[in-house]
Amino acid sequence: MGADSNVGITRTGGGRREWEYDEMGMMRFASAMAGAAVLMAATPASAQFFMKAKDLRGARVVGDESGIGQPLPGATPAELRAGVVWNMRAALNVAALQCQFEPVLLTVSNYNAILADHREELANSFTTLTKYFERTAATKKAGQAALDTFGTRTYAGFATVNAQFNFCKVASDIGREAIFTPRGRFGEVALDRMRELRNSLTPWGEQQFPHYFNPTLATLPRFDKDCWKKDAFDEKRCGEPLVPVVYAAR
């Protein structure tokens, strides 16, 4: 009897081509495969996003709260809702661009799916905002300019560096919820989770293994004309020549 393979199946000799089952060989093969499966299951995916984030959940918003987005003075409840919806859309758009360093967060595919699945609600929200700015501006042209400014500031308001991991993780989670939300209910997700998304823009870092650091503020020399005598800074008159740089708040 000549061996045809090493996985438990042999071929008989002679003119007949018959297969015989090698029970012990198959048992050894099955044991080896089971062991390999255990090892593979115990090994985490190399691309997994590992981070224990701070609990950043917050209360549901209406849209006129401080720090939620660009103010909309005199807006109706429907216009405030539209503003929050558009803020959420902008945030998930920023996440799609900013969080591609970690593909497992699916921020790009989530965002594209949201645009497709909630297209009508997003379009209606934009129309509502457009009418708000036309209604509150002196002219239609001024209203369009105000809408453009609103959009630019809204997008810029979600840019972050120090809190990037927090923001990307929360945006990924919101995006996943949104794609399983029935059409016409995206606004509910936006109102429920906008506070959490805004909270994610504050740096917190890893919560499982916290570490502390004292950031060094960037400084610039003072350029007050009265503080300089030719090329020399007058410390006696103006104090320290270098002052901390204060960055604009989001």
DSSP string, 42-108: HSPPTT---------------S-STTSSS--TT--HHHHHHHHHHHHHHHHHHHHHH-TT-GGG-HH
Each residue of 77-105: pLDDT tens digit? 999 999 999 999 999 999 999 999 888 89
More reliable by pLDDT, 43 or 174: 174
Collect all residues with Cβ–Cβ distance below 8 Å to 100 and sequence separation of at least 6: 107, 108
pLDDT of residue 117: 93
More reliable by pLDDT, 11 or 237: 237
Quote the CA–CA distance of 235 and 248 in Å, as a whole number. Answer: 27
3-state secondary structure of 9: strand
- Averaged pLDDT of the chain: 78
- Give yes or no for a contact between 40 and 96, defined as CB atoms under 8 angstroms apart: no
Each residue of 74-83: pLDDT tens digit? 999 999 999 9
Query: Does 4 score more than 50 pLDDT?
Result: no
Query: Does 236 score more than 90 pLDDT?
Result: no
Each residue of 47-66: pLDDT tens digit? 445 566 677 777 888 888 98
Provide long-range contacts, Cβ within 8 A and 24+ apart, for 107-111: 107/168, 107/171, 107/172, 107/175, 110/172, 110/175, 110/176, 110/178, 110/179, 111/175
User: Average of pLDDT values for 16-30?
Assistant: 49
Quote the CA–CA distance of 28 and 5 in Å, as a whole number. Answer: 13
Report CA dihedral (57, 204, 154, 124) to the nearest 10 degrees.
Answer: -30
| Buried b or exposed e, range 187-203, using 16+ CB within 10 angstroms | bebbbbbbbbbbbbbee
- Give yes or no for a contact between 191 and 61, defined as CB atoms under 8 angstroms apart: yes
Quote the CA–CA distance of 196 and 166 in Å, as a whole number. Answer: 10
Question: At 23, is the pLDDT very low, low, confident or very high (cuts 50, 70, 90)?
Answer: low
pLDDT of residue 165: 85
Output the pTM of the full model: 0.61
pLDDT of residue 8: 39
pLDDT of residue 102: 85
More reliable by pLDDT, 14 or 211: 211
More reliable by pLDDT, 158 or 22: 158
- Give yes or no for a contact between 194 and 66, defined as CB atoms under 8 angstroms apart: no
Quote the CA–CA distance of 180 and 117 in Å, as a whole number. Answer: 10
Structure tokens at 246: 């204060």
User: Average of pLDDT values for 185-189?
Assistant: 95
pLDDT of residue 2: 42
Query: Does 213 score more than 60 pLDDT?
Result: no
Residue matched to tokens 């029935």: 182
Each residue of 107-117: pLDDT tens digit? 999 999 999 99
pLDDT of residue 207: 54
User: Average of pLDDT values for 8-22?
Assistant: 44
- Give yes or no for a contact between 60 and 195, defined as CB atoms under 8 angstroms apart: yes
